Structure 1
Amino acid sequence: MKYPWIDDFLKGMNGVTSDFKEEWNWDRYMIDGKMFAAVCRDDQGKEKLISMKLEPLEGDFLRQQYKDIIPGYYMNKIHWNSVMADGDVPDELLKDMLEKSYALIFAKLPKKRQKQILGEE
């Protein structure tokens, strides 16, 4: 995979847990059980796609700019986007997309829970 840093990057975010959803062949990354990113694997276990949630207008804009960003694979095509794991999306852009996905889900958590995750309570 072109993005070998992705697992450490995602697990390094506050409050993130992960699991492997065997039925889907996905590594899922969650905050309080709410998924914000997934690494989808092919039948041989090789990373195929990285999916994340984005604001619809931003996702649409990025899909127009990069052929390796497509509507969410097996996800809501308006809110979710997938990046080809062997594509040409720059590392910094992918990191920015993943951080924005995390922020979208984090913002929906109750304020008290947000403070707990950030270690402020």
Structure 2
Amino acid sequence: MDKESLIEYCLTKLGTEHDYQPLWGAERVKVSGKIFAIFSELDGRPCMALKCPPELAEQMRTKYKEVIPGYHLNKALWNTLFLDGALEQAFLHQMIDVSYHEVLSKLPKRTQQILAKNTSLD
């Protein structure tokens, strides 16, 4: 799956923004200013770093060879997923969802309430 499609999927989440960090050579997607997805290359391979609960992070590394500990990140909380392998779109979307919710849950309660309020259809 290509990086652009994954960034577009990230941006469907409420309160998200996308930018480029030239010092890292990476594109980032944030919720309320906090990063939940980083898109870059590692050894010439396109990849995406996502936040994950530690036990799930370890399970994903064991199950998929395209998932490794977060490169230059807290390895207990972040995974790097290679985008040129066998990982399917549904799995990548699921892991993006997990990362978004991990970061969202750590935001101040007031920020979470504002985001939740903006999801109502009234």
TM-score, normalising length from structure 1?
0.88
Quick check: 1:27–1:38 contact (8 Å CA) kept in 2? Answer: yes
Q: Could you tell me which runs of 5 or more consecutive residues in structure 1 were left unpaired when the two chains were aligned.
A: none
What's 2:72 paired with? 74
TM-aligned CA distance change 1:71 to 1:27, over 3 Å: same
Match among 55, 75, 82 for residue 53 of structure 2 = 55
Q: Report deviation, 1:18.
A: 1.3
Runs of 4+ aligned residues of structure 1 deviating over 6 Å after TM superposition are: none
Aligned: 1:32 with 2:39: no
Quick check: 1:39–1:47 contact (8 Å CA) kept in 2? Answer: no
Matched letter for residue 110 of structure 2: K
Aligned: 1:117 with 2:106: no
Match among 91, 94, 98 for residue 92 of structure 2 = 94
CA deviation digits over 1:4-53, x for unaligned, max 9? 5201101111000111000111101111111011101369xx86210000
Match among 80, 83, 87 for residue 81 of structure 2 = 83
TM-aligned CA distance change 1:69 to 1:120, over 3 Å: closer
Q: Report deviation, 1:113.
A: 1.1
TM-aligned CA distance change 1:55 to 1:42, over 3 Å: closer
Aligned-partner Cα distance in 2 for 1:96–1:120:
20
Q: Report deviation, 1:112.
A: 1.9
Matched letter for residue 80 of structure 1: W
Quick check: 2:27–2:39 contact (8 Å CA) kept in 1? Answer: yes
Quick check: 1:21–1:27 contact (8 Å CA) kept in 2? Answer: yes
What's 2:19 paired with? 19
Aligned-partner Cα distance in 2 for 1:120–1:76:
31
Q: Secondary structure at the match of 1:81?
A: strand
| CA RMSD after TM alignment | 2.0
Aligned-partner Cα distance in 1 for 2:42–2:79:
18
Quick check: 1:36–1:101 contact (8 Å CA) kept in 2? Answer: yes
Q: Could you tell me which runs of 5 or more consecutive residues in structure 2 were left unpaired when the two chains were aligned.
A: none
TM-score, normalising length from structure 2?
0.88
